[in-house]
Amino acid sequence: MPDNLGQSVANFITATKHTSAPTNPDVQLLVDVDLSILGQSEDKFDEYERQVRKEYEWVAENAFVAGRSAILKSFLDRPTIYSTQFFRNKYEAQTRRNIARSLARLRT
């Protein structure tokens, strides 16, 4: 196994935390695939959001709302959510609409 394979895999995994925009083209593609759920139809996105809440059901509601809102807002604050042109063209607009809807729901 190549010496740097472990580090490469770790970099791929860490990138899915979405704390910064990836610069490596392979990582960009992986992250865009990971984020593509955010650009699905309203029904699919809403189901995904329900699944996220279920995954974190152990977190108090106010803490969940604060954390989830911060994560979603961080995506809207980016000039683009997706790194690759393909995913920007296909999902960017719907992703922004879905996130805005989710943030509005979290505020109520």
pLDDT in tens, the chain (108 residues): 667 877 777 777 776 667 777 778 888 998 999 999 999 999 999 999 999 999 999 999 999 999 999 999 999 999 999 999 999 999 999 999 999 999 999 998
Does residue 40 contact residue 64 with C-beta atoms inside 8 Å? Answer: no
Domain ranges, residue 49: 24-107
Residue 11 included in any domain: no
Would you say residue 98 lies in a domain?
yes
Counting the structural domains of the chain, the total is 1
In the block, residue with structure tokens 């490469």: 8
- What is the SS3 assignment for 50? helix
Whether 19 is covered by a domain: the verdict is: no
